[in-house]
Amino acid sequence: MAPARASSRNNSLLLLLSTLAMAACTTQFEREYAEAERWRAAAAAAGHEWIETSRLLEQAEATADAGNMDVAFELLGKARFQAEAAVRQAEREAEAWRVRVIK
């Protein structure tokens, strides 16, 4: 095989692998984004959505669109953590108020 031909095939292979990796990363991001959004919606439905959660989700999406997936996943993780914490807070508060009522 001629060196130019081998180089061309290697470049094509690298491009293909890079495209597949980016597609996998995007698919993973979409799944994790959807999960974080479900937690955010649950927190909002319980009346306990934290202010920063929606902003973090928006920033994660914009960062992913710009191609900076490492930062996008980090922002997404923070958003999901906040959303889950807000749901847990709502669950605790749903019962905790009872012990605060003067009888």
* pLDDT at residue 12, rounded to an integer: 72
Is residue 67 one of the residues assigned to a domain? yes
Q: 85-98: per-residue pLDDT in tens?
A: 999 999 999 888 88
- Burial class for 42, CB neighbours closer than 10 Å (0-12, 13-18, 19+): middle
Is residue 58 one of the residues assigned to a domain? yes
Is residue 79 one of the residues assigned to a domain? yes
CA 55 to chain centre: 12
**Domain limits at 67?**
27-100
Is residue 12 one of the residues assigned to a domain? no
- CA torsion 86→34→66→8, rounded to 10°? 140
Task: Determine contact, residues 92/51, Cβ cutoff 8 Å.
Answer: no
CA distance 83 to 103: 34
Is residue 17 one of the residues assigned to a domain? no
* pLDDT at residue 54, rounded to an integer: 97
Residue 2 has pLDDT above 70, yes or no: no
Rounded to two decimals, the pTM is: 0.73
Residue 59 has pLDDT above 80, yes or no: yes
